[in-house]
Amino acid sequence: MNTIRMSTGIKPFLLTALLLLSACHTAPATNRMETASPLPADFIDPTKSVFALSNYSQSVSTWLPDGQAMQMPVLDNAAQQRHFSALKSRYFGMEPHEKSPWNPYYIASILRRGAERVRDLNISKYLGEQSVSWGENFRVHSVQWKREVRNNAATRIDAVYRPAGRGIALRETLVRDLPTTDPAYDDPRQAGQGYPFDNLQNSSIRPGTPVYILTHSHDRRWKYVLSPTVTGWVHSEDIAVADRKFVSEWLALADNHLGAFIKQPVSVRQRGLYYFTARPGTILPFSNKMPGFFDVAVPAGKSDGHAQMRQVRLKDEEFVAMPWKMTPANLAVLLQSMSGRPYGWGNYNFYNDCSAEIRSLMMPFGLFLPRNSAAQIQATARLVDLSKENISRRLSYLKEHGRPFTTLVWIPGHIMLYIGNTVIDGRKVPMTYQNIWGLRPADSASRSIIGGSVFFPLLASYPEDPRLTSLVSKSQFKLGFIE
């Protein structure tokens, strides 16, 4: 998740001016036109502008190799199979050492360690007496609001494993840190705060993902679940109980044939019955592969809250068998669908943030990555820490040693994928693919917003606005190599 959002408040004089401008009574339109000075096209408000991307092509073909190089693997088959085995273990592994949400051994160990720890930390952090957060109405949350959410979240978590706790996501569901859809923003008057940075929005869980239900909210509208990547509150209707028969059948299918979506959005339906919308990062077992088609298993809910298995037919242009061969040509298919999409903090509105983007991009190739950027860089096979090097040395090392499409670049709160080098103004520079909210100046008093998944070079400074701090100049700078 991109957390490059530290900021300072608006000066009192500027805030007063903003309040006057937003008052209900305004001067006649003719007077406003006579006295108003034109605003720059990139202006949003005194703390925000739009970064001009026109100097950097957003066409996928611009940044990929030509000819036969498009078909050359960037990760060999043995490495892909090794990663794929680890991915299946995390989702479906049932041996004592494996960490699937359906694995009794793993869940029992979680319960012994205290499964309520994360939940209770969030309750204290966001609902404590000293906590302050803003709602969507630009007002601070009341004591009553905090009390109602706290009471709804404070339910008992069983200390022993329950087979009936196993569940499956029926559709993509947003994961919240508390059982409420209300946002909790930091001071929206500050740059980098307010929309879209809802502190309660954690992540999302894709359709068909195994989960373990730890508890329900008091009003039963929410389930507190553990998934392969994240723990949090989800809407109850998005999860169905997976009984022993369903789990056995699903595991058997997934062990033989597992596939992934490579385009978005895909409306998954059969004979007029809609199940869910899928996008890259969604994986499902399949039973048959035919020329041009797959017969894919999908979960559906029954009236008693339990899951049943249904089958849909998907085209091979939207769904592939895993692990998909990791070539630039196949990466291009995903990038054509994923690039240009809006930024979604914690998967807000089912869009990706930085780490969700990288995770979703790697999933069809059988690569499992954790959910947040710091964990992702630590999960790579080889880590090179360049934090003590200057900007020039950091860029030089990446240009010389980076491996296109398998090198992750991490700075605090943000992660990106190195895709190769390009030439800008006669100089060779590293190019990245990333989902980013924006850049900021040294004083953090404003933001230049990008707000989506883009191809973006790493430069010492950006000619569009030299005041902006380079991503390469952050306090930490690490490269992670997927091998």
From the CB of residue 381, how many other CB atoms can be counted at a distance below 10 Å? 12
Query: Residue 350, class by beta-carbon neighbours within 10 Å (0-12 exposed, 13-18 middle, 19+ buried)?
Result: middle
pLDDT of residue 31: 38
pLDDT beyond 90 at 155: yes
Rg of the Cα atoms in the chain: 24
Query: Could you give the count of Cα atoms lying within 13 Å of 8 in the half-sphere of its Cβ?
Result: 8
pLDDT at 10: 36
> Does 18 score more than 70 pLDDT?
no
Least confident range from 36-45, 278-287, 319-328, 445-454: namely 36-45
* CA distances, 270 to each of 274, 275, 298, 312, 327 (Å): 7, 8, 11, 6, 32
Side by side, the strands of the sheet bearing 307-315 are 307-315, 293-301, 283-290, 258-261, 319-321
pLDDT digits (tens, 9 = 90+) for 87-105: 999 999 999 999 999 999 9
Q: pTM of this prediction?
A: 0.91
SS3 294: strand
pLDDT of 25 > 70? The answer is no
Instruction: List pLDDT tens digits, range 244-301.
Output: 999 999 999 999 999 999 999 999 999 999 999 999 999 999 999 999 999 999 999 9
pLDDT for 6 beyond 70? no
Torsion angles phi and psi, residue 453, rounded to 5: -90, 120
In tens, the pLDDT along 116-145 reads 888 999 999 999 999 999 999 999 999 999
**pLDDT, mean over the chain:** 92
Q: Report pLDDT for 81.
A: 98
Which H or E run includes 361? Answer: helix 354-362
430 preceded by a cis bond (ω within 30 of 0) = no
Going through 316-426 in order, the beta strands assigned E by DSSP cover: 319-321, 382-385, 407-411, 414-424
Q: For position 246, what pLDDT does the model report?
A: 98
Bridge partner list, 432? 418, 456
pLDDT tens readout for residues 203-246: 999 999 999 999 999 999 999 999 999 999 999 999 999 999 99
Q: Which two tokens stand for residue 391?
A: 């900007």
Where residue 171 falls among pLDDT bands split at 50, 70, 90? very high
pLDDT in tens, 403-426: 999 999 999 999 999 999 999 999
User: Mind listing the pLDDT tens digit for each residue in 61-79?
Assistant: 999 999 999 999 999 999 9
Rounded Cα gap, residues 323 and 409, in angstroms: 24
Residue 429 identity: V
Q: What's the pLDDT at 37?
A: 55
- Shortest CA distance to 453 belongs to which of 282, 323, 279, 206? 279
Each residue's pLDDT tens digit, 345-388: 999 999 999 999 999 999 999 999 999 999 999 999 999 999 99
